[in-house]
Amino acid sequence: MVITGIVFIFGRKKTGKRVARAPRPQAAVSARSLSNQAHQLEAKGSLLEAKLLYQKLINDFPQSSEVMDWQKRTEEINIKLLFSPVLTPKSIIYEIKPGDTLTKIAREFKTTTELIKRSNNLNDSLIIPGRKIKVWSAPFNILVDKSENILMLKNNEEIVKTYTVSTGKNNCSPVGTFKIVNKLPNPTWFKAGAVVPAESPENVLGTRWMGFDLAGFGIHGTVEPKELGKQVTQGCVRMSNPDVEELYTIIPVGTEVTIID
């Protein structure tokens, strides 16, 4: 933050006497200067401050050729903040009480045990009363745009991260608002006349499954990452395995998913 005080700049009248005059308005800070500041803050690990500067750049210079890069950096910072112990405006510090479990805490704050563990560098589910941990406390929602083949993880109206996905061929993915009702790691694929185990290279579900309250539809991984960005599925939303594993860690059962044309 740059703090400016009142400065008097001395000039001369035609009489030759020096007189005080008000300063000229400060020149607008250039996009390049702000971008450099944001990069430096990000490199130093000052993620919240860097995010604020990237957001200012996006708002103040929407026509810049760098706006997509600023948005991408903002989203990368969002995920780093989610997975770190750094307290944000949408998380709280929670003191563990006797009888608490990670499952109980996650259910109370509508988050996931995986996210609590990841953001507090916990290697297992063992927790100790009296310890203070960071807990995300704001609900997520998901928007899938079939025309763009993108999935946006959102917190209210803020885009947390945008993922490239595949949707249903011939535009067959259902349109509407659904809820995640189940989550499965390394799912078995039950297809007509066969059961395909998780470890099979023919299992199209990849490493994670998040099912909708519409039977047979959900979000899952893939064994065909080259097909991402296309309408090629039987109606489900397909992500790369690293992306679907990241999303699985973040969103709890009950998360709303809206799919639009």
DSSP assignment string, 190-230: EETTEEE-TT-TT-TTTTEEEEESSTT-EEE--S-GGGTTS
Residue 76: pLDDT above 90?
yes
Confidence class for position 213, pLDDT limits 50, 70, 90? very high
Banded pLDDT at 40 (limits 50, 70, 90) = very high
pLDDT digits (tens, 9 = 90+) for 87-104: 999 999 999 999 999 999
Q: Which CATH class is domain 141-260?
A: mainly beta
- Token look-up 């499965």 returns 184
Question: Could you tell me if 114 and 83 are in contact, meaning their C-beta atoms sit under 8 angstroms apart?
Answer: no
For residue 199, the model assigns a pLDDT of 85
Q: Which helix (H) or strand (E) holds 86?
A: none
Model confidence over 222-244: pLDDT tens digits?
999 999 999 999 999 999 999 99
Q: Please report, for the chain, how many H helices and E strands are present, in that order.
A: 6, 16
Give me the catalytic one of 73, 134, 220, 238: 220
Cα gap 42→50, rounded to integer Å = 5
Residues 6+ positions from 164 with CB-CB distance below 8 Å: 149, 150, 228, 229, 240, 243
* The two structure tokens encoding residue 83: 């997975």
* Active-site pick, 41, 116, 160, 236: 236
What superfamily does domain 91-136 belong to in CATH?
Answer: LysM domain (3.10.350.10)
Confidence of residue 23 (pLDDT cuts 50, 70, 90): very low
* Crossing angle of helices 67-82 and 31-44, rounded to 10°: 20
The pair of structure tokens assigned to 150 is 């993108």
Q: What is the rounded CA–CA span in Å between residue 125 and residue 24? A: 60
Strands, E assignment, the chain = 9-12, 18-21, 91-95, 132-136, 141-145, 150-155, 158-164, 167-168, 176-185, 189-191, 194-196, 208-212, 218-220, 231-233, 237-238, 256-260
- Catalytic: 39? no
Domain ranges in the chain are 31-82, 91-136, 141-260
Residue 110 CA to residue 70 CA, distance in Å, equals 30
pTM of this structure: 0.85
